[in-house]
């Protein structure tokens, strides 16, 4: 089964009408796509009240790909606002209770930072994170290409298989050590494909202003030929796994929703309502 969705639900104006209020956007989003990547959990462990609300607002078959808190992935370089890592993991897992009970947790996305390279202490860290998050399904995304170097690629994939960890396949710019190649291999019965776009210049922060950089990093509009190529990748992954999750993250220019709809069409998948004519306005502006 193939599931297609977007990163977040707040920044996709083509999916909403002018009267849609911010706290109702998830309800409208779920009429268009069956999955969403939840990124707010990366910046802070969310309260159970908020997570319960999102559970209640979505259909029974809706699923969340939940991004792991940045203290878990090492983005804070060990400086966490908790008394211990055990407390941090415990609170993170507690926040997901309603998703788990409702069958709406597709996976926890553990995205390691670009400096997390392939070495023993980082292999041990993956083991530790896996143990702490059990029994939740976890997916690992690397942002350092050493994991896929000729010397380590097969060992990396076999390691993920041994832990029953979901492999995150990425389509992204190839601009140095802080990017990874597209490796269409499933290591569990679920696999996640994240499409970040192919904006080579925007991928590397050379501007000094992190906010401005984030506005352009995922600025990319996949053309039909590229989407057709990716549909072939997804069909290849479908032969290896029971469920293929596809997340479009190329939304700096609000292209993600349009591309996801196009992509679903190429796979003859119909999700909810068609895009409104508002999308045509955005197409003309880009």
First to last CA, the chain: 33
CATH number of the domain to which 277 belongs: 3.20.20.410
Say how far apart CA 220 and CA 102 lie, in whole Å.
35
Beta bridge partners of 105: 64
Query: What pTM was computed for the model?
Result: 0.91
Say how far apart CA 73 and CA 234 lie, in whole Å.
27
Beta bridge partners of 247: 5, 194
Say how far apart CA 285 and CA 74 lie, in whole Å.
38
174 Cβ contact partners less than 8 Å away, ≥ 6 residues apart: 181, 200
Say how far apart CA 84 and CA 67 lie, in whole Å.
20
Hey, what's the torsion of the CAs at 195, 108, 22, 101, to 10 degrees?
140
Report the number of distinct structural domains present in the chain: 1
Higher pLDDT, 79 or 222: 222
Q: What is the average per-residue pLDDT within 276-285?
A: 39
pLDDT for 192-228, tens place per residue? 999 999 998 888 765 556 566 667 888 999 999 999 9
Q: Residue 275: pLDDT band by 50, 70, 90 thresholds?
A: very low
**Out of 9-18, 114-123, 218-227, least confident range:** 9-18
Say how far apart CA 39 and CA 141 lie, in whole Å.
14
Q: Tell me how far the alpha carbon of residue 16 is from its chain's centroid.
A: 22
How far is it between the farthest Cα atoms of the chain? 55
Residue 98: give the domain boundaries: 2-285
């Amino acid at each position: 089964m193939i599931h297609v969705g977007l990163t977040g639900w707040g920044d996709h104006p083509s999916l909403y009408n002018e009267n849609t209020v911010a706290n109702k956007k998830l309800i409208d989003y779920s009429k268009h796509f069956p999955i969403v990547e939840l990124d707010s959990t990366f910046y802070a462990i969310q309260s159970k009240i908020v997570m319960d609300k999102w559970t209640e607002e979505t259909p029974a078959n809706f699923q969340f790909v939940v991004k792991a808190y940045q203290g878990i992935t090492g983005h804070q370089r060990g400086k966490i606002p908790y008394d211990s890592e055990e407390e941090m993991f415990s609170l993170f897992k507690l926040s997901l209770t309603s998703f788990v009970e409702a069958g709406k947790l597709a996976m926890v996305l553990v995205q390691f930072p670009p400096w997390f390279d392939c070495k023993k202490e980082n292999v041990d860290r993956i083991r530790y994170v896996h143990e702490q998050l059990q029994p939740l399904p976890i997916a690992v995304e690397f942002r350092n290409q050493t994991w896929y170097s000729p010397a380590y690629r097969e060992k990396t994939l076999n390691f993920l298989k041994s832990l029953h960890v979901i492999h995150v396949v990425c389509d992204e710019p190839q601009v140095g050590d802080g990017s990874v190649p597209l490796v269409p291999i499933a290591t569990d019965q679920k696999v996640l494909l994240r499409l970040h776009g192919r904006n080579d210049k925007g991928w590397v922060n050379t501007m000094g202003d992190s906010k401005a950089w984030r506005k352009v990093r995922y600025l990319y509009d996949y053309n039909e030929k590229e989407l057709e190529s990716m549909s072939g990748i997804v069909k290849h992954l479908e032969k290896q796994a029971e469920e293929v999750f596809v997340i479009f993250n190329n939304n700096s220019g609000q292209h993600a929703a349009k591309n996801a709809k196009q992509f679903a069409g190429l796979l003859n998948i119909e999700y909810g309502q068609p895009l409104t004519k508002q999308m045509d306005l955005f197409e003309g502006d880009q």
